[in-house]
Amino acid sequence: MAGRAFQVRRWPGGVAAGLVAMLILGTLLAVALRAEAGRGLGPSDWAAIRFTLWQAVLSSTLSVMLAVPVARALARRAFWGRRLVIAFLGAPFILPVIVAVLGLLSVFGRGGILNVALRFVGLPEVTVYGLHGVVLAHVFFNLPLATRLILQAWQEIPAERFRLAAQLGFGARDMARVIERPMLRRVVPLAAAVIFALCISSFTVALTLGGGPRATTVELAIYEAFHFEFDLGRAALLALVQIVLVGVAAVLALRASVAEGFGAGMDRVVTRWDSGGLRQISLDFGVIVAASLFLLVPILMVVVEGAAGLWRMPVQVWSAAGVSLAVALVSTAIMLVLALPIAIAAAAWRGFEAVGLLGIAASPLVVGVGLFIVIFPIADPFTLALPITALVNAVMALPFALRILVGPVRDVVAGYGRLSATLGIGGWAWLRLILLPRLRGPLGFAAGLTAALSMGDLGVIALFADAETATLPLQMYRLMGSYQMEAAAGAAVLLLGLSFGLFWVFDRGGRNHVDA
């Protein structure tokens, strides 16, 4: 087969992919070499492994179980504000974890509205720390994701099936047996696998709501071994354990990763003829309202409490905000420099896309510990805290960026490759005149996601920062640690505004002036 339609340059993508692979595999290797395997795993390490797996199983199971009725309600009801609800379900992706944690504390925490109510009616209080809290926060973040995944599967059922079902006089029960349950049997395990993988490597939730001998995840144990005991051998050994856990979870989730688009085509309601009864209608709306309250109230609480705290924040919060903004922008730039050439190369050969998977298979703290081991003999890693954070954040966002960019790049090559070739447009001119202008929308979206994710990240920075250095999420965590809750809420509002603001600016910038 002779083909030579339009040759994109592969070598820059090869170089970028090589750098990413070197960073991740290199740090994994460093961790493996440094791990003191001879010492073996102690009882507390085994407890951490058990807790990590158990909370992930609980979180993923609860998330998908609760998501099924929400997705069903959204799939079969048309109502004003439905698009808004669905868009809102995408928001937790860029919601800073620490902000959500603060919100959950103000609802479910010791002084939260739930316990105030319980006290008022004389019932025993609930505690949000430990397993409950970790699972609660994970459900808060993953219920929307599970709902989106399941809703998408629901809407991929061809409308003809529902018409046929109506023709055959199916009731709700027949519909469930013949159409819906087979779909759920396929999508629910996949959604659960994705969420399981996310919960295995989640760090901030465990840091803020877990802890202690009974609620420490492996990721948190790495941090504690490194940060409090400065036992690098043990941190590396735990990191090795985490590599195995995340690796296995990633393989499980990988099969599911094709399932999620970014919400395209979800604003369609399939006309159905089996969902008439008043009981079903009120059930559906009850479910939608309950889910919306569960997701909205904590954030609203943060905003209300934080608005007052905004003026009482110590000056360090403002400087931390500046640091975070700089880190987020540098991180976005690094992501673009890596993702664009890889996406271009992937348009010629899909294999390049696989490098993005490395970012999924590595957890930030593992890469952080690995980088520390590599850098320590050469330089002082603590002075490099911010550049390292920017780099790791960029690499962690890379899989998402590639998923966003590869398709559109391929479309540009397929749609305009021959025309470009016959006009002799190649190299930089092609990049400048054809690809970048055609790619503005996806580029803006990818940059917005990366900037927001980096802005809200509390991972590597917690590992590396000294007392003088802090990003905004870390500063907020320190305020919470010293019970300055009002100031923490103020910082949360600032962080929330900056994260969503960055996303909005980039995404909007990409969508402006788009022709055809």
Partner 1 sequence: MLTLENVMIRQGDFTLGADLSIDAGARVAVIGPSGAGKSTLLALIAGFFAPDSGRIVWNGRDMTGDAPGARPVAMVFQDNNLFPHMTVAENVGLGLRPDLRLGPEEKARVEEALGRVGLGGYDGRKPAALSGGQQSRAALARVLVQDRPFVLLDEPFAALGPALKAEMLDLLQEVLETTGAGLLMVSHDPDDARRIAPQTILVADGRADAPMPTDALLDDPPPVLRAYLG
Which residues bind to partner 1, rule: CB under 8 A?
1-6, 415-416, 418-419, 421-426, 428-429, 432-434, 437-438, 514-516
d(CA 438, CA 198): 33
Nearer to partner 1, 215 or 439 (CB): 439
Sorted by sequence, the CB contacts under 8 Å of residue 75 that are 6+ apart come out as 151, 154, 155, 269, 270
Tally Cβ neighbours within 10 Å of residue 255. 12
DSSP per residue over 223-241, as a string? HHHHHTS--HHHHHHHHHH
Helix runs in 77-167, H state only: 82-90, 97-108, 113-120, 131-155, 159-167
Nearer to partner 1, 158 or 415 (CB): 415
Burial profile 97-131: b = 16 or more Cβ within 10 angstroms, e = fewer: bbbbbbbbbbbbbeebeebeeeeeeeeeeeebbbe
Nearer to partner 1, 304 or 429 (CB): 429
Nearer to partner 1, 160 or 515 (CB): 515
Q: Are 206 and 216 in contact (CB under 8 A)?
A: yes
Nearer to partner 1, 68 or 434 (CB): 434
Residue the block writes with tokens 């990590």: 52
Q: How far is the CB of 514 from partner 1 (least distance, A)?
A: 8
Q: How far is the CB of 163 from partner 1 (least distance, A)?
A: 33
Nearest CA-CA partner of 422 in 2, 5, 36: 5
Q: How far is the CB of 3 from partner 1 (least distance, A)?
A: 6
CA angle 429, 433, 435 (to 5 degrees): 100
Nearest CA-CA partner of 300 in 102, 63, 42: 102
Sorted by sequence, the CB contacts under 8 Å of residue 14 that are 6+ apart come out as 345, 352
Structure tokens at 450: 């990366």
Q: How far is the CB of 353 from partner 1 (least distance, A)?
A: 25
Q: How far is the CB of 423 from partner 1 (least distance, A)?
A: 5
Nearer to partner 1, 293 or 436 (CB): 436
Q: How far is the CB of 7 from partner 1 (least distance, A)?
A: 8
Nearer to partner 1, 308 or 414 (CB): 414
Nearer to partner 1, 261 or 415 (CB): 415
Q: How far is the CB of 408 from partner 1 (least distance, A)?
A: 13
The H or E element containing residue 397 is: helix 385-422
d(CA 144, CA 211): 26
Nearer to partner 1, 467 or 516 (CB): 516
Q: How far is the CB of 446 from partner 1 (least distance, A)?
A: 18
Q: Cα torsion at 404, 405, 406, 412 (round to 10°)?
A: 130
| Identity of the residue numbered 107 | V
Q: How far is the CB of 444 from partner 1 (least distance, A)?
A: 14
